[in-house]
Amino acid sequence: MKIDIMGIPFDNVTMEEALDRAMELMERPEPAICVTPNAEILYEAMENPELMQMLGEADLVLPDGAGVVLSGKLLGTPVKQKVAGIEFASGLMERLAGTGKTFFFLGSKPGVADTAAEKLKEKYPGLNICGVHDGYFQEEGPVVEGISAMAPDVLFVCLGAPKQEQFMFRHRGELQAGLMAGLGGSLDGFAGNVKRAPRWMIRCNLEWLYRLVKEPKRLGRMLRIPKVLLRVMGRRLRGKS
């Protein structure tokens, strides 16, 4: 079931339902695209028609972040739960470790994907990572060719929005991949370069505050969250008038 939050059709799923859907999409003959918009990306999409269109055309749209969850509640279209991209990726790797299904990691600074791969193989014995590539490339052609040569079942594209969405949609017809997922800075998290908030803060939807304290330079980006909520409230009031 899809629900509309400020023009984006989010899948109203639990984490387990999202993983079940991903497993189904992987078996289709053509590549499937999963996107994980948080409030920052939601705001970007409201300002960027191209991004809004791509999010709307994705096969799986997951509500990643407290801002999206709150927006849904305010609009009267609540989502079942927050489905964080990094947790979705972890769940997918846990399910597929030891099955022979392959992963390819694309993104972040040189060396980060390699470190993430090493740590994830330790965490999920039997995880099959068939290739990695950093996100600092000038020409996309050789990268696309390298990925397609490996034909991964799952491709994690961690280039940040909207670059990762543009990459997936631009090369959808060329990439030999089962499921492509745009996951922002997840590789840095898997590599241990960026630590997630304590579990209690995640449960209380306060991960944004933890990240802001750890990275004050994110303030400008974080200000998009109240901007989104103001627009949501405006739409809610107009709907009641």
Confidence of residue 234 (pLDDT cuts 50, 70, 90): confident
Provide the pairing of β-strand 179-182 with 154-158.
parallel
Supply the pTM of this predicted model: 0.89
Rounded mean pLDDT, 11-32:
96
What are the pLDDT digits (tens) for 137-190?
A: 999 999 999 999 999 999 999 999 999 999 999 999 999 999 999 999 999 999
CA-to-CA dists, residue 46 to 52, 134, 228, angstroms: 7, 29, 9
